[in-house]
């Protein structure tokens, strides 16, 4: 009886042993699918996280703006003349206004 030899056997012997394991190959393919191809891949998750971070920064900024505007609104309701003089530099006729800024 003649022994048949596989012509690709030298090539198969060069492949490392873990790479020939079916379970290892399926695990590698699964991770590659999850990282690059899946609907919820790594790049998409990273972009979503960046968007979330930006929205949280915007939320803090707008909350500060709302607080500032509410303070201005209270000032307007309490003393309209003082608010107009301080913010819009309004003055009465014949009146000089000096603006002193603190640094």
Predicted confidence (pLDDT) per residue in 4-16, tens digit: 788 888 887 888 8
Contact 84, 90 (CB under 8 A): yes
- What is the mean pLDDT of the segment spanning 84-92? 80
Which among 50, 69, 71, 73 has a CA at the least distance from the CA of 61? Answer: 69
Residue 97 reports pLDDT greater than 80: no
Name the average pLDDT for the chain: 86
List phi, psi (to 5°) of 80: -65, -40
Give the pLDDT score at 85. 79
The rounded distance, in Å, linking the Cα atoms of 89 and 97 is: 8
Number of Cβ atoms within 10 Å of the Cβ of 79? 11
Give the pLDDT score at 51. 98
- What is the mean pLDDT of the segment spanning 43-69? 96
Domain range list for the chain? 9-38, 39-90
Q: What is the pTM of this model?
A: 0.55
């Amino acid at each position: 009886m003649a022994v048949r030899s596989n012509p690709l056997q030298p090539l198969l012997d060069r492949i490392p042993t873990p790479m020939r394991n079916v379970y290892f190959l399926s695990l590698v393919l699964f991770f590659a699918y999850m990282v690059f191809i899946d609907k919820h891949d790594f790049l998409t998750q990273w972009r979503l996280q960046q968007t979330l971070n930006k929205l949280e920064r915007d939320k803090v900024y707008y909350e500060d703006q709302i607080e500032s505007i509410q303070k201005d609104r209270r000032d307007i309701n309490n003393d309209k003349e003082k608010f107009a003089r301080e913010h819009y530099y309004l003055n009465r006729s014949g009146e000089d206004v000096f603006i002193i800024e603190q640094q």
